[in-house]
Amino acid sequence: GQNIDQPTEMTATEGAIVQINCTYQTSGFNGLFWYQQHAGEAPTFLSYNVLDGLEEKGRFSSFLSRSKGYSYLLLKELQMKDSASYLCAVRGTGGSYIPTFGRGTSLIVHP
Amino acid sequence: ETGVTQTPRHLVMGMTNKKSLKCEQHLGHNAMYWYKQSAKKPLELMFVYSLEERVENNSVPSRFSPECPNSSHLFLHLHTLQPEDSALYLCASSQTGTGENTIYFGEGSWLTVV
């Protein structure tokens, strides 16, 4: 089975930096995804990590450590529109191409 | 606007009704999915169709019935649902066989069972 853990809720200030952590225990590992989901909308793909290290995409970066079963999503220069739920999803091995999703972290950005 | 479109966006149905959710993907993908999203719970995979093969979560009740006539269209037929089935139902697609196989979601269908 697969177990994914991320904080339920976080708050941060506009213009600041926030780090959302995700820890996982899976049967093997074959990739980790981060999605953003605004209230009432579809989850949208943010990043994919399969190798250790940091992947940067503009204000968003995602880090992976496979040996520690750990990832984080780093959001810089926070904007009000970044208030959303952030979903971590992990794909194990064993022939399944389908990732398992965590419960998501609700991020609230305030002025 | 996403490459995966769902209709209707909102649906209210009685427990004795029969209704269907429709999904269409315009991304040329070869796999389509139904997910259920309830408050405070992780996304729950219900069904997957990939290369004409169907994979299902055994915990999904038989009152949910999927249909995939081709690689671009997916339906979820609903029959004698219960109030606890009220949730956001998300359709998604992906291209399997590639390294990443990123899943792309539609905007969802909000279902309320009364």
- Spatial neighbors of A110 by CB under 8 A, at least 6 apart, are A11, A12, A13, A14
Tens of pLDDT, residues A94-107 = 656 788 899 999 99
Instruction: Determine contact, residues A87/A99, Cβ cutoff 8 Å.
Output: no
Is the pLDDT assigned to residue A6 strictly greater than 90? Answer: yes
- Spatial neighbors of A41 by CB under 8 A, at least 6 apart, are B107, B108
CB contact under 8 A, B2 and A103: no
Phi, psi (degrees; rounded to nearest 5) at A82: -80, -10
pLDDT at B58: 83
Q: Please give the structure tokens belonging to residue A98.
A: 């389908």
Least confident stretch, A7-21, A54-68, A92-106, B9-23? A92-106
- Find the CB nearest B107 among A42, A89, A103: A42
For range B15-44, the mean pLDDT:
92
Between CA B22 and CA B39 the distance in angstroms is 22
pLDDT at A41: 87
What is the count of residue pairs from A and B with beta carbons less than 8 Å apart?
50
Tens of pLDDT, residues B31-75 = 999 999 998 788 999 999 987 678 888 889 999 999 999 999 999
Give B17 to chain A, closest Cα distance, Å: 25
pLDDT at B57: 83
Least confident stretch, A53-67, A87-101, B2-16, B74-88? A87-101
Q: Supply the Cα-derived Rg of chain A in whole angstroms.
A: 14
pLDDT at B1: 53
Residue A111 burial (CB count, 10 A) = 6
- Find the CB nearest B103 among A50, A99, A104: A99
pLDDT at A30: 87
Between CA B32 and CA A53 the distance in angstroms is 30
Between CA B72 and CA B9 the distance in angstroms is 18
Nearest residue of A to residue B98 by CA position? A97
Between CA A5 and CA A68 the distance in angstroms is 13
State chain B's mean pLDDT as an integer: 91
- Spatial neighbors of B86 by CB under 8 A, at least 6 apart, are B111, B112, B113
DSSP for B70-107 reads ETTEEEEEEES--GGG-EEEEEEEE-TTSSS---EE--
CB contact under 8 A, A87 and B104: no
Tens of pLDDT, residues A54-82 = 999 999 999 999 999 999 999 999 999 99
Give B27 to chain A, closest Cα distance, Å: 14
- Which residues of chain B have a CB within 8 Å of the CB of A35? 105
Give A59 to chain B, closest Cα distance, Å: 21
Chain Cα centroid distance, residue B82: 17
Instruction: Determine contact, residues A22/A86, Cβ cutoff 8 Å.
Output: no
